[in-house]
Amino acid sequence: MNKKIDKKKIEQGIRMVLEAVGADLDIKDIAKTPQRVAQMYEEILAGQFKNPEDEINVILEEEHDEIILLRNISFYSLCEHHLVPFFGKAHVAYIPDKRITGLSKIARVVEVLSRRLQVQERLTTKIADVLMKKLKPKGVFVVIEAEHLCMSMRGVKKPGTTNVTSVVRGVFRTNSKTRQEALSLIK
Protein backbone atom coordinates (compact mmCIF):
# COMPACT_ATOMS: atom_id res chain seq x y z
CA MET A 1 0.00 0.00 0.00
CA ASN A 2 1.28 3.48 -0.88
CA LYS A 3 1.97 5.76 2.06
CA LYS A 4 0.49 8.83 0.39
CA ILE A 5 -1.78 9.85 -2.42
CA ASP A 6 -0.19 10.30 -5.86
CA LYS A 7 -1.49 13.77 -6.69
CA LYS A 8 0.16 13.85 -10.12
CA LYS A 9 -1.79 10.75 -11.23
CA ILE A 10 -5.01 12.27 -9.92
CA GLU A 11 -4.32 15.47 -11.86
CA GLN A 12 -3.73 13.46 -15.05
CA GLY A 13 -6.93 11.49 -14.50
CA ILE A 14 -9.04 14.57 -13.80
CA ARG A 15 -7.63 16.28 -16.88
CA MET A 16 -8.77 13.27 -18.91
CA VAL A 17 -12.24 13.35 -17.33
CA LEU A 18 -12.60 17.06 -18.04
CA GLU A 19 -11.57 16.51 -21.65
CA ALA A 20 -13.98 13.59 -21.95
CA VAL A 21 -16.95 15.69 -20.77
CA GLY A 22 -16.04 18.55 -23.13
CA ALA A 23 -14.67 21.06 -20.60
CA ASP A 24 -12.48 23.81 -22.00
CA LEU A 25 -9.13 23.39 -20.25
CA ASP A 26 -7.99 26.75 -21.61
CA ILE A 27 -10.37 28.55 -19.23
CA LYS A 28 -8.22 29.75 -16.35
CA ASP A 29 -10.38 28.36 -13.51
CA ILE A 30 -10.95 25.00 -15.20
CA ALA A 31 -7.25 24.69 -15.99
CA LYS A 32 -6.54 24.60 -12.23
CA THR A 33 -9.30 22.10 -11.45
CA PRO A 34 -7.03 19.02 -11.66
CA GLN A 35 -4.72 20.43 -8.97
CA ARG A 36 -7.65 21.43 -6.74
CA VAL A 37 -9.25 17.99 -7.06
CA ALA A 38 -5.94 16.29 -6.24
CA GLN A 39 -5.57 18.43 -3.11
CA MET A 40 -9.17 17.66 -2.15
CA TYR A 41 -8.64 13.90 -2.49
CA GLU A 42 -5.48 14.13 -0.41
CA GLU A 43 -7.54 15.74 2.35
CA ILE A 44 -10.77 13.74 2.22
CA LEU A 45 -9.02 10.37 1.82
CA ALA A 46 -6.26 10.96 4.39
CA GLY A 47 -7.65 8.19 6.62
CA GLN A 48 -6.51 5.51 4.17
CA PHE A 49 -2.98 5.94 5.40
CA LYS A 50 -3.69 6.17 9.12
CA ASN A 51 -4.25 3.41 11.64
CA PRO A 52 -7.45 4.26 13.56
CA GLU A 53 -6.20 2.25 16.54
CA ASP A 54 -3.46 4.86 17.01
CA GLU A 55 -6.16 7.43 17.82
CA ILE A 56 -6.97 5.65 21.08
CA ASN A 57 -3.64 6.51 22.64
CA VAL A 58 -4.93 7.23 26.15
CA ILE A 59 -6.53 4.42 28.08
CA LEU A 60 -7.49 4.99 31.70
CA GLU A 61 -8.33 2.41 34.34
CA GLU A 62 -11.77 3.31 35.67
CA GLU A 63 -14.51 1.43 37.52
CA HIS A 64 -17.31 2.95 35.41
CA ASP A 65 -19.51 0.15 34.07
CA GLU A 66 -22.45 1.98 32.53
CA ILE A 67 -23.06 3.16 28.98
CA ILE A 68 -20.82 5.86 27.56
CA LEU A 69 -22.39 7.33 24.42
CA LEU A 70 -21.25 9.91 21.90
CA ARG A 71 -24.19 11.05 19.79
CA ASN A 72 -24.23 12.94 16.54
CA ILE A 73 -20.57 12.68 15.55
CA SER A 74 -20.63 14.37 12.13
CA PHE A 75 -18.68 12.73 9.34
CA TYR A 76 -18.13 12.87 5.58
CA SER A 77 -16.98 9.92 3.55
CA LEU A 78 -16.61 8.87 -0.08
CA CYS A 79 -18.59 6.04 -1.66
CA GLU A 80 -16.26 3.58 -3.35
CA HIS A 81 -18.91 2.75 -5.97
CA HIS A 82 -19.45 6.23 -7.47
CA LEU A 83 -16.78 8.43 -5.84
CA VAL A 84 -19.41 10.80 -4.45
CA PRO A 85 -19.85 11.73 -0.79
CA PHE A 86 -22.04 10.25 1.83
CA PHE A 87 -22.38 12.09 5.09
CA GLY A 88 -24.23 11.97 8.34
CA LYS A 89 -23.99 11.22 12.03
CA ALA A 90 -22.38 8.39 13.93
CA HIS A 91 -23.59 7.36 17.38
CA VAL A 92 -21.07 5.30 19.32
CA ALA A 93 -21.75 3.65 22.67
CA TYR A 94 -19.68 1.32 24.80
CA ILE A 95 -19.77 -0.19 28.26
CA PRO A 96 -16.28 -0.24 29.75
CA ASP A 97 -14.68 -3.15 31.48
CA LYS A 98 -12.25 -1.09 33.58
CA ARG A 99 -10.85 0.72 30.51
CA ILE A 100 -12.04 4.08 29.20
CA THR A 101 -10.60 6.62 26.81
CA GLY A 102 -11.07 10.31 26.17
CA LEU A 103 -14.27 11.16 24.33
CA SER A 104 -12.33 12.93 21.58
CA LYS A 105 -10.48 9.68 20.88
CA ILE A 106 -13.71 8.00 19.81
CA ALA A 107 -14.59 10.93 17.54
CA ARG A 108 -11.10 10.70 16.04
CA VAL A 109 -11.59 7.00 15.25
CA VAL A 110 -14.77 7.94 13.37
CA GLU A 111 -12.88 10.72 11.56
CA VAL A 112 -9.96 8.53 10.47
CA LEU A 113 -12.18 5.69 9.32
CA SER A 114 -14.60 7.97 7.48
CA ARG A 115 -11.80 9.48 5.38
CA ARG A 116 -11.52 6.45 3.12
CA LEU A 117 -13.13 5.00 0.03
CA GLN A 118 -15.79 2.66 1.40
CA VAL A 119 -19.36 1.65 2.01
CA GLN A 120 -21.32 2.67 5.09
CA GLU A 121 -21.68 -0.90 6.30
CA ARG A 122 -17.90 -1.35 6.46
CA LEU A 123 -17.43 2.00 8.22
CA THR A 124 -19.92 0.99 10.92
CA THR A 125 -18.23 -2.38 11.44
CA LYS A 126 -14.69 -0.97 11.55
CA ILE A 127 -15.58 1.59 14.22
CA ALA A 128 -16.96 -1.19 16.43
CA ASP A 129 -13.98 -3.45 15.72
CA VAL A 130 -11.42 -0.77 16.68
CA LEU A 131 -13.18 -0.03 19.98
CA MET A 132 -13.53 -3.71 20.84
CA LYS A 133 -9.85 -4.34 20.15
CA LYS A 134 -8.41 -1.30 21.89
CA LEU A 135 -10.74 -0.89 24.90
CA LYS A 136 -11.85 -4.50 25.40
CA PRO A 137 -15.24 -3.28 26.66
CA LYS A 138 -18.23 -5.33 27.76
CA GLY A 139 -19.93 -4.18 24.58
CA VAL A 140 -20.01 -1.70 21.71
CA PHE A 141 -22.99 -0.31 19.80
CA VAL A 142 -22.47 1.81 16.67
CA VAL A 143 -25.30 3.37 14.65
CA ILE A 144 -24.67 5.45 11.55
CA GLU A 145 -27.30 7.53 9.77
CA ALA A 146 -26.17 8.92 6.42
CA GLU A 147 -27.36 10.44 3.19
CA HIS A 148 -25.66 9.12 0.06
CA LEU A 149 -25.33 11.58 -2.80
CA CYS A 150 -25.13 8.64 -5.22
CA MET A 151 -28.79 8.06 -4.32
CA SER A 152 -29.80 11.71 -3.86
CA MET A 153 -28.45 13.32 -7.02
CA ARG A 154 -28.28 10.39 -9.48
CA GLY A 155 -29.94 7.03 -9.97
CA VAL A 156 -33.30 7.07 -8.15
CA LYS A 157 -32.78 10.76 -7.19
CA LYS A 158 -34.31 10.61 -3.71
CA PRO A 159 -32.69 13.44 -1.71
CA GLY A 160 -33.12 13.27 2.04
CA THR A 161 -33.24 9.48 2.12
CA THR A 162 -31.25 8.22 5.08
CA ASN A 163 -29.44 4.90 5.27
CA VAL A 164 -29.11 3.51 8.81
CA THR A 165 -26.59 0.82 9.73
CA SER A 166 -25.79 -0.63 13.11
CA VAL A 167 -23.28 -2.98 14.64
CA VAL A 168 -23.68 -4.50 18.09
CA ARG A 169 -21.01 -6.36 20.01
CA GLY A 170 -20.84 -7.99 23.42
CA VAL A 171 -23.52 -7.20 25.97
CA PHE A 172 -25.45 -5.01 23.51
CA ARG A 173 -25.94 -8.12 21.36
CA THR A 174 -26.74 -10.55 24.16
CA ASN A 175 -28.88 -8.33 26.41
CA SER A 176 -31.93 -6.79 24.72
CA LYS A 177 -32.60 -4.43 27.66
CA THR A 178 -29.11 -2.97 27.39
CA ARG A 179 -29.50 -2.63 23.62
CA GLN A 180 -32.88 -0.88 24.10
CA GLU A 181 -31.38 1.49 26.67
CA ALA A 182 -28.67 2.51 24.21
CA LEU A 183 -31.23 2.98 21.43
CA SER A 184 -33.36 5.19 23.65
CA LEU A 185 -30.31 7.31 24.53
CA ILE A 186 -29.44 7.69 20.85
CA LYS A 187 -32.94 8.96 20.05
Let me know if 64 is a catalytic residue: no
The single residue of 39, 145, 150, 181 carrying the catalytic annotation is 150
Q: What angle do CA 174, 185, 152 make, to 5 degrees?
A: 95
The single residue of 19, 64, 81, 180 carrying the catalytic annotation is 81
Give the count of alpha carbons within 13 A of 109, CB side only. Answer: 28
The single residue of 82, 145, 147, 181 carrying the catalytic annotation is 82
Whole-angstrom distance, CA of residue 34 vs CA of residue 37 = 5
The single residue of 55, 79, 91, 111 carrying the catalytic annotation is 79
The single residue of 91, 111, 118, 120 carrying the catalytic annotation is 120
b/e for 110-121, b at 16 or more Cβ within 10 A?
bbbbbbbbbbbe
Let me know if 91 is a catalytic residue: no
Let me know if 79 is a catalytic residue: yes
Let me know if 150 is a catalytic residue: yes
The single residue of 91, 111, 118, 148 carrying the catalytic annotation is 148
The single residue of 62, 80, 121, 180 carrying the catalytic annotation is 80
Q: Count of residues for the chain?
A: 187
Catalytically annotated residues? 79-82, 120, 148, 150
